[in-house]
Structure 1
Amino acid sequence: MKDSTTFGMQPILCLAGPTASGKSAIARAIAERWPTEIINVDSATIYRGMDIGTAKPTLEERKAVRHHLLDIRDPTQSYSAAAFRHDALKCVAEIRERGHLPLLAGGTMLYFKALREGLNDLPSANPEVRQALEVQAQKIGWPGMHAELTRIDPVTAHRLAPNDSQRIQRALEIWHISGLPMSELIGKANPSDAPVATLTISLEPSDRSILHMRIAHRFDEMLEQGLLAEVENLHKLPDLHPGLPSIRCVGYRQLWSMLDGEVNMQTAREQAIAATRQLAKRQLTWLRSLPGRQIVDSLSPDALQQVLQCVQKQAREITGF
């Protein structure tokens, strides 16, 4: 793979936005205009067997446009921001060597952050430590794990919600592996993972209520397409449980609770829609803190034309079109 400093010569094109903002449709439109390959920036579409609830591109769409970083993990497995950065930069180099335009598109802001800013010098994931922490969490609950984190790393614990299981687990894992709190390690840059230049087009809807309606409508469409049956198939697998990152994905987590008898279907639907709206809010908050982004109102009638204008210069330099 090319050294990451190579990428500073030509910014990496990124299309970001909250869930249900129309990223996939615009990414496909870019691919219709220029020879493009899409690198998915999504912590849910990486999982095999999780198609409907992640709004994964259809087989027909994948035949029309080459997609990368889809279906690369089983739901039992984890995938880190560090792994994403490594895989994404490798894809970018290979796509450019083919004379195509690499387009990173998605809504997992942690992945965009890792790509743009580089990574801290944190230890890699350890499956045995994670398993031990999950067993402990089953006994005392994630608020109890949060209390444990408060004892060993109050700085990190202060910024995490007591039920933020994924981040609490990672902070505790780092402490168990390194013997140091995450807050001490997080400022130590890894020189092999330097920041790279990006051109980020940010789809930001001007009317939050319309985005909320789209989120509800899309979830209902997923249910009509068979999302519940998809979750039921996952629920039958003996090695899957709600503590895994895959099952904690919005929509899946709430329907899993329904299948466990904790809530009824109506409540699961309402909780899934509410959780998706909260996700969109967090995504927008992150985007609005990003300097230098090219803002496009995703609700504007000429949103696509604005995006194509942003892309045109870089696409011409890379593809010759």
Structure 2
Amino acid sequence: MSNQLPVINLMGPTASGKTALACQLYEQGNFELISVDSALVFKDMDIGTAKPTQEEQARYPHHLIDLISPLEVYSASQFVDDASALIEDMHSRGKTPILVGGTMLYFKALLEGLSSNLPGTDYAVRAEIEEKAAREGWEAVYAELCQVDPLAGQRFKMSDKQRITRALEVFKLTGEPITKLQAEQPKNLPYKYNFHNYALMPDRLELHKRIEKRLEIMWEIGFLNEVKGLMKKYDLDENLPSMRSVGYRQALDFLKKSDQTGEKQREMEDRALFATRQLAKRQYTWLRSLQEKHKFTTYFTIEQAQEDLRNCHG
């Protein structure tokens, strides 16, 4: 449709090279960049999130970076509101937005719309659920979920603590199963945006090498010192959304313990590497799920993507 606004979505797992690709595109055309990354919204979290440096941001300005402190919460709903306003503004100035990142939940929310009938987070209810878990174990919490929302019980594993908590929270606030409310979710269609979806999905072995290299550099340039600085500046705990980011959770746990030998540090670094690989695995799964519903162009190498996107949008 001629009145639809073009939006380029550039998705990929961590360390796939998508940010570098977006910056190259930025140089070639009339584009602006919007970050789609739930970790980059946090101020003072730079090294562990692979945030573009101040010099890089000056050359390639990214929107939706450094929005809130590590103590605050940023939701998919807020992302959709912020990104939509930016997209409108960019088009009013004759620019084409490139949305780049690896937080697939945000892309999904933008592509498919959000359920307007789901309540926001209620920390008192969450605390009640977590207290029950501490008192009776997650088995009891999971059993309660299976009783009030059997479909969610089938979908979630007992290890999916965040999803179980959210599902029970929604039931306690609304009296309705989250699966029922999600099934009634309105779609933002017909959509006023014309999405051009691109996925950068390198070979797993190649990606694992890049992840390992990225983490090596991260430790070398002072990631542990960054987390120490965060601990001095903020009252951090491992349940904050910011501290659920891979690397930060492992470093925070390590720094809070008295045993900080070289051996324990290497174990912590190994756990961070494993968690980052697991994140990439989840991102691949999310991408495949999105590709089942939406039109995508997939690239397995950065070079392939550079050539094609230069021709498409140059």
Partner residue of 2:154 out of 147, 151, 158: 158
Cα separation, 1, equivalents of 2:281 and 2:2? 31
**Compared CA separation, residues 145 and 277, structure 1 to 2 (3 A):** same
- Aligned 8 A contact 2:5 2:91 in 1: no
Structure 1 residue 178 displacement after superposition: 1.1
- Aligned 8 A contact 1:15 1:105 in 2: yes
- Aligned 8 A contact 2:112 2:188 in 1: no
Per-residue CA deviations over 1:266-297 (Å, capped at 9, x if unaligned) read 12111111111111122122223314201112
TM-score (norm 1): 0.86
Structure 1 residue 133 displacement after superposition: 4.1
TM-score (norm 2): 0.88
Aligned to 2:113: 118
Cα separation, 2, equivalents of 1:249 and 1:304? 29
Aligned to 2:50: 55
Matches within 5 A, 1:1-321: 9-120=4-115, 121-139=117-135, 142=138, 144-190=140-186, 196-205=193-202, 207-236=203-232, 239-261=235-257, 264-289=264-289, 290=291, 291-298=294-301, 301-312=303-314
Structure 1 residue 307 displacement after superposition: 2.4
Structure 1 residue 65 displacement after superposition: 2.2
Structure 1 residue 89 displacement after superposition: 0.7
- Aligned 8 A contact 1:119 1:194 in 2: no
Structure 1 residue 138 displacement after superposition: 5.0
Whichever residue aligns with residue 224 of structure 1, its letter is E
- Aligned 8 A contact 2:29 2:313 in 1: no
Q: Which moved more, 1:135-144 or 1:301-310?
A: 135-144
Structure 1 residue 118 displacement after superposition: 0.9
Q: Which moved more, 1:177-186 or 1:154-163?
A: 154-163
Aligned to 1:316: none
Secondary structure of 2:212's aligned partner: helix
Structure 1 residue 222 displacement after superposition: 0.8
- Aligned 8 A contact 1:116 1:197 in 2: no
Whichever residue aligns with residue 287 of structure 2, its letter is L
Whichever residue aligns with residue 210 of structure 1, its letter is E
Secondary structure of 1:11's aligned partner: strand
- Aligned 8 A contact 2:71 2:234 in 1: no
- Aligned 8 A contact 1:296 1:306 in 2: no
Cα separation, 2, equivalents of 1:194 and 1:148? 38
Structure 1 residue 204 displacement after superposition: 1.2
Q: Which runs of 5+ in 2 are unaligned?
A: none
Q: Which runs of 5+ in 1 are unaligned?
A: 1-5, 313-321
Cα separation, 2, equivalents of 1:202 and 1:175? 35
**Compared CA separation, residues 173 and 74, structure 1 to 2 (3 A):** farther
Structure 1 residue 311 displacement after superposition: 2.7
**Compared CA separation, residues 97 and 213, structure 1 to 2 (3 A):** same
Structure 1 residue 302 displacement after superposition: 4.0
Structure 1 residue 228 displacement after superposition: 0.8
Cα separation, 1, equivalents of 2:228 and 2:90? 37
**Compared CA separation, residues 35 and 251, structure 1 to 2 (3 A):** same
Q: Which moved more, 1:54-63 or 1:154-163?
A: 154-163
Cα separation, 2, equivalents of 1:140 and 1:86? 39
Secondary structure of 1:52's aligned partner: coil
RMSD over aligned CA atoms reads 2.4
Q: Which moved more, 1:212-221 or 1:235-244?
A: 235-244
- Aligned 8 A contact 1:134 1:243 in 2: no
Whichever residue aligns with residue 49 of structure 2, its letter is T
